[in-house]
Amino acid sequence: MQRVTGNTLKAAFIERFGGPDVLQYGDLPDPAAAPGEVVVDVAAASVNGADWKVRAGQYADAKFPLVLGRDFSGTVAITGAGVDDLKIGDAVFGVLEAGREGAYAEKLAIKAAIIAKKPDALSHVDAAAVALTGLTAIAAIETTLKLQHGETILIQGGAGGVASFAIQLARHIGARVIATSSAANLDYVRSLGADEAVDYNAQDFTRVVSGCDAVFDTVGGDVAQKSFAVLKPGGRAAFIASGMQAPKPERGDVTSLRPAVSRARAPLERIAHLVTAGAVRPPEIKLYRLSEAAEAHRLSEGRHFRGKLVFKVR
Ligand SMILES: NC(=O)c1ccc[n+]([C@@H]2O[C@H](COP(=O)([O-])OP(=O)(O)OC[C@H]3O[C@@H](n4cnc5c(N)ncnc54)[C@H](OP(=O)(O)O)[C@@H]3O)[C@@H](O)[C@H]2O)c1
């Protein structure tokens, strides 16, 4: 690890790719705010499905030490030159720029324009839990699938972080929602608003689900490829766990889409609105300290917990 002098922060980071045990907890230099940026004192940061993939080296280049983590909630500590819409002491939440990691830390620097004020009604832990999952669900359900009132959607991986938000958003739009989960999570996905919950271990979803207008797949692999079968002609499917390209359907009468998840203030404000209006509630959350990052990653990589894993940073 590099020797650190000057002001430091505590962070969870890696110095090489590998299993959960490559995660270290220690001191790194404080960030500075470049023009247009703020430094945020991070109160909470969440674990996303992408984090263990980054840790394992599935995303190309990285400069070590690499602090992991993409979304956070906290308080503005420093404002850089030209920032006039946020001030020191503002509670904010957001997601780091696409392709950038660094939220598992006591402080981070980020462009002010892509974060939003955290509503008082939402705790820092809840705000961190819904930041990237909310952006992704909104991008998939509203922007990409353009789900309409009265339509039927199958949401794969119903108990996961993104799907927990997506089920509620789809219901809020007025769609009929079918969600898949293991037996242990059926009641959870129903409690989020799923009209129907399918235990994917007990039943082949392609035999019990059909005629859907849309599919949102958060699982990937075979599940993604088989999902086309439940669509009605003209149906559309969105995929976020199959890499950057949407899988190719074997039938020609449906559309396969890969949502682009932008980092911007407007969709974060939409998340804040949906949660404060009661349309979406935060998912079930399991809390960790940053020093327990390896343990959180083991659970995340196992892919059978429900809701979100969140670091309470301070
Ligand atoms: N910007 C983006 O493109 C973006 C953003 C966020 C996430 N993602 C990707 O989206 C995926 C989902 O992420 P996430 O954080 O929401 O959740 P996650 O941690 O990847 O998924 C956990 C959930 O998946 C469920 N699951 C596992 N296998 C399943 C199966 N065969 N059928 C149905 N459910 C299954 C588990 O529930 P059970 O225990 O009930 O099986 C668990 O609740 C990840 O691959 C992630 O990398 C992409």
Q: How far apart are CA 261 and CA 84, in angstroms?
A: 26
Segments of the chain scoring below 50 in pLDDT: 1-3
Q: What is the pLDDT of residue 169?
A: 98
- 162 CB near ligand 1 (under 6 Å): yes
Using a cut of 0.95, tell me whether the model's pTM lies above it. yes
Which helix (H) or strand (E) element contains residue 54? helix 49-56
Phi, psi of 102 (to 5 degrees): 145, 15
Is the Cβ atom of 241 under 6 angstroms away from ligand 1?
yes
> Is residue 3 a contact partner of residue 80, using CB atoms and an 8 Å limit?
no
**Helix/strand/coil (H/E/C) assignment for every residue in 24-54:** EEEEEECCCCCCCEEEEEEEEEEECHHHHHH
Best of 191, 240, 245 to mutate for ligand 1, by most ligand atoms within 8 A of CB? Answer: 240
Q: Specify the residue with its C-alpha closest to ligand 1, atom 3.
A: 240
For ligand 1, say whether the CB of 48 is within 6 Å of any of its atoms: yes
Q: Which residues, 6 or more positions from 62, have their beta carbon under 8 angstroms from its beta carbon?
A: 17, 54, 101
The total of other beta-carbon atoms located within 10 Å of residue 236's CB is 19
Contact 177, 167 (CB under 8 A): yes
Mutation test residue for ligand 1: of 181, 199, 227, the one with most atoms within 8 Å of CB: 181
| pLDDT at residue 2 in the model | 46
Q: What pLDDT is attached to residue 1?
A: 43
User: 7 alpha carbon to ligand 1 midpoint, in Å?
Assistant: 37
Q: Which two tokens stand for residue 112?
A: 């002010």
pLDDT of residue 5: 54
What pairs with residue 45 in β-bridges? 72, 311
